[in-house]
Amino acid sequence: MKSVRVFITGDVIGVGFRMWTKKNAQNLRITGWVKNVFGGVETVLQGKREDLEKMVQRLKRGPPTSHVKKIELHYEESSGLFERFDIIA
């Protein structure tokens, strides 16, 4: 099990990015969370490396209503704490 923290910047707030991220993560059996932060969106993803790589590729594109300018990846040791994927307000 691996974990990656991702910061996404661009036109990603107010365009359904968090809900889109949750749906895609659940489809890939990835756990973790997503939230809006100053300047963009932050998400922590936990799952199998190949599923995380698929999710990162999806995040680079984002939903059709968004415009992703940049993503930053920070791989971490997996905590194994997440049981599901949540949207944090």
Q: Find residue 36's DSSP bridge partners.
A: 41
Catalytic residue at 27? no
Task: Please tell me which residue in 5, 18, 61, 84 is annotated as part of the active site.
Answer: 18
Residue of 27, 36, 58, 84 marked active site = 36
Taking the C-alpha atoms of 35, 78, 53 and 17 in order, what is their torsion angle to the nearest 10 degrees? -10
User: Would you please indicate which residues are annotated as catalytic (active-site) residues?
Assistant: 18, 36
